Structure 1
Amino acid sequence: MQSLLLLLPDFSLIVLGAGLRRQLVTDAAFWTGVEKLVYFILFPALLFNAMATAEVDAGGALPLFVAGLGVMASGFALGWLCRPLAGLDAMAFASRLQCAYRFNTYIGIAIAGKLHGPAGVALMGGLCGAMVPFANIMAVGMMARHGQGGIVRELVRNPLVIATIAGMAFNVSGLDLAAPVQFFLKRLGDAAVALGLLAVGAALRWGKVGGRWAGSAWFVSVKLLLLPAIAWIIGRALGLDGIAFDTIVLFAALPSASSAYILAMRMGGDGPGVAWLISATTLLAVLSLTFWLQLL
């Protein structure tokens, strides 16, 4: 029950966002603006502030990042096993495969902050920021089409990657953020969590799944059940403990990222199918994250 209560405020914001989108604030352009504000301004400010002010232990962080890569590679491999069951063409399957390993950073940061405070935000933010390039490489690589930009362009323009690298560079430089600047960034970061979760709720979509139900159920099971179990094993094998161990398990248990839908639509993939998987993993994560938090 305590774990459920820990998640309740954040998932209540998601439910509120879904309700607002359908009943009160129905203008799609408004929510597009909110998503852009969070993605390009508020969330990068949160990540930069967390990384710039955190006590970074490069040697201690390396096993966590290795574990993150292992988790994502496992998600990709397990998702690929579903190919015969999915009943989808190659492009539609490549679109949905993202949902087996991509992660919702907004929810991860919110839960990490509740669980471990600023230290949890810094560690989860650093892990997510480090994994974003690899998530993009795998997703774009599977769906790449000639003449629609490239992987390198996707990465160098990603605000989360830029903010993470900039924050780490500022940290190792030995400089200190002036108090007014740090307070300003903290205000933006506080807004990022609330608005980001509202935007997640507003982005929930239901419709025709397409393909076979067995394939969709497999993707959901991989993301919410199998990957956290694998993360538990990898984390113990690499000697992770404390906040680092909690972080890798929670990272693996996060629902699929809404950015998977954006990428699928932009590259001509199966947008509706991806949207259904994102919605399913987000709602079911209330139960699965409660379970994993209870174990932790």
Structure 2
Amino acid sequence: MSQVLLLLPDFLLIVAGYLVCRHTALDRPVWDGVERLVYWLLFPVLLFVAILRQPLQAGEMLSFAGCGLAVVGLGIALAYALGHLQGVDALTHASGAQTAFRFNSYVGLAMAERLGGVQAVAWIALLIALCVPVCNVAAVWPLARRSGQHFGRELARNPLIVATVAGLLCNLAGLRLPEPLNITLTRVGSAALPLGLMAVGAGLQMGALRDAPRLAAAFLGIRHLLLPLWAITLVITAGLPSAQQSVVVAFAALPTASSAYVLATRMGGHGGFVAGLVSLSTLIAMLGLPLALAALGWAQAA
């Protein structure tokens, strides 16, 4: 399968969720339960296992990790800045801002394996471990503030943050799961991606993007244009090894996290708007990700 088609199965799962929800007996009430299952159990388990699986050492590959954090940091800063523009609806911005800097770690793991095998998977696992907590805190903050919920309480009970921090701490402590438990949790987590993407499709309201088309374009422009260009600049300037450069640039060009829709819905945000952003982001990344890697190749050759 070519890089251009790598994300096609994910997009088809979104379409499948849309069709199943609207044209079968498995309608909206069924998918409300699926969303809760994915958010509270499946995604956290997958994150925990993915982070724990690859041994990490505190302080390793500082330049590489710094580039990943710098990519996320710019995305957060730009997304937050859009909220200060005149005429931007506060709740719509709070709901959609996360799509500019969050990333689909499951697609990232698959892409890393294609780019560099086991070693690249270990590198992307490091970025996941460092950046997921940062992204989730940044995603929860505007939603908690706009919905009137307590920020600290929302962080403490956010299952994605809890699972990521737990995985990171266990990894750094050198803890490893017994093989039967590891296999069991891996199988539980493996259901997160298909069900999560289908839940996005079930909640899809492409028309909701018409509520703020310029804001949607700005979020996706940050996610799929500015961040990959920033990543290319960073890795070339930092002089990272070629294989690590590819991983960082691919990381910057990933589609936004499918769980962004679930988070927005659970915290009283504009779920339909976020569902449209997630779907468009997945479609854009099908072409944008290989183009970002091609641009890196041109920069390396220059």
Q: Report the TM range for the smaller structure's normalisation.
A: 0.7 to 0.9
Residue of structure 2 in register with 1:171 after alignment: 171
CA distance in 2, matches of 1:270, 1:154: 18
Q: How far is the alpha carbon of 1:88 from its aligned partner?
A: 2.4
SS in 2 for 1:36: helix
What's 1:56 paired with? 56
Cα distance in 2 for partners of 1:127, 1:273 equals: 27
For the Cα contact (< 8 Å) 1:204–1:275, is it kept in 2? yes
Corresponding residue number in structure 2 for 1:196: 196
Aligned to 1:230: 230
Query: Which amino acid is the alignment partner of residue 67 of structure 2?
Result: A
Alignment length, in residue pairs? Answer: 296
The match for 1:142 is 142
Give runs of aligned pairs for residues 34-53 of structure 1, distance below 5 A: 34-53=34-53
Instruction: Map 1:270-289 to 2 at 5 A.
Output: 270-289=270-289
Instruction: Quote the offset at 1:54 in angstroms.
Output: 1.3
Whether 1:73 and 2:73 are equivalent positions in the alignment is yes
Deviates more, 1:202-211 or 1:75-84: 75-84
* Greater Cα shift, 6-15 or 118-127: 118-127
Q: For 2:37 and 2:116, how far apart are their aligned partners in 1?
A: 26
TM-score (norm 1): 0.80
For the residues of structure 1 that align with 2:17 and 2:146, how far apart are their CA atoms?
37
Q: Is the 8 A contact 2:7 2:285 kept in 1?
A: no
Mean Cα deviation higher: 124-133 or 229-238: 124-133
Aligned residue type for 1:164: T
Q: Quote the residue 2:221 is aligned against.
A: 221
Q: Please tell me the residue identity of whatever aligns with 1:152.
A: G
TM-superposed deviation, 1:207: 1.1
The within-5 A match list for 1:200-215 is: 200-210=200-210, 213-215=213-215
Shift of 1:190: 2.6
SS of corresponding position for 2:207: coil
Change (3 A) 1:185 1:6: same
The whole-number CA distance in structure 2 between the counterparts of 1:121 and 1:196 is 22
Distance of aligned partners of 1:97 and 1:113 in 2 relative to their CA distance in 1, 3 Å threshold: same
With over 3 angstroms needed to count, the CA separation of the structure-2 counterparts of 1:34 and 1:235, relative to structure 1, is farther
**Aligned amino acid, residue 195 of structure 1:** L
Give the 3 Å change call, closer, same or farther, for CA 252–10 of structure 1 in structure 2: same
Q: For the Cα contact (< 8 Å) 2:102–2:256, is it kept in 1?
A: yes
Is the 8 Å Cα contact of residues 99 and 274 (structure 1) preserved in structure 2?
Answer: yes
Q: How has the CA–CA distance of structure 1 residues 293 and 10 changed in structure 2, closer, same or farther, with 3 Å as cutoff?
A: farther
- Give how far 1:89 is off: 3.5
Distance change in 2, residues 1:165/1:255 (3 Å): same
Contact 1:7 / 1:111 at 8 angstroms: preserved in 2? no
Maintained 8 Å contact 2:19/2:202? yes
**Cα distance, 1:236 vs structure 2:** 3.0
Change (3 A) 1:182 1:136: closer
Which consecutive unaligned segments of at least 5 residues does structure 2 have? 297-302
Q: Does 1:245 align with 2:245?
A: yes
**Counterpart-to-counterpart distance in 2, 1:130 and 1:72:** 10
1:2 match? 2
**Aligned-pair CA distance for 1:19:** 2.8
1:103 CA drift (Å): 2.5
Q: Give the direction of change, closer, same or farther, for the CA distance of 1:145–1:181 in structure 2 (3 Å limit).
A: closer
Q: How does 1:154-165 map to 2 (within 5 A)?
A: 154-165=154-165
Matched position secondary structure for 2:206: coil
Counterpart secondary structure, 1:249: helix
1:268 Cα deviation after fit: 5.6
| 3-state SS, counterpart of residue 161 of structure 1 | helix
Change (3 A) 1:155 1:61: farther
For the Cα contact (< 8 Å) 2:18–2:202, is it kept in 1?
yes
Distance 2:56 2:74 in 1: 27
Task: Please say if residues 137 and 151 of structure 1, whose CA atoms lie closer than 8 Å, have aligned partners that are also in contact.
Answer: no
Structure 2 Cα separation of the partners of residues 262 and 173 of structure 1:
31
Q: Which runs of 5+ in 1 are unaligned?
A: none
Q: Which amino acid letter does the alignment assign opposite residue 160 of structure 1?
A: L
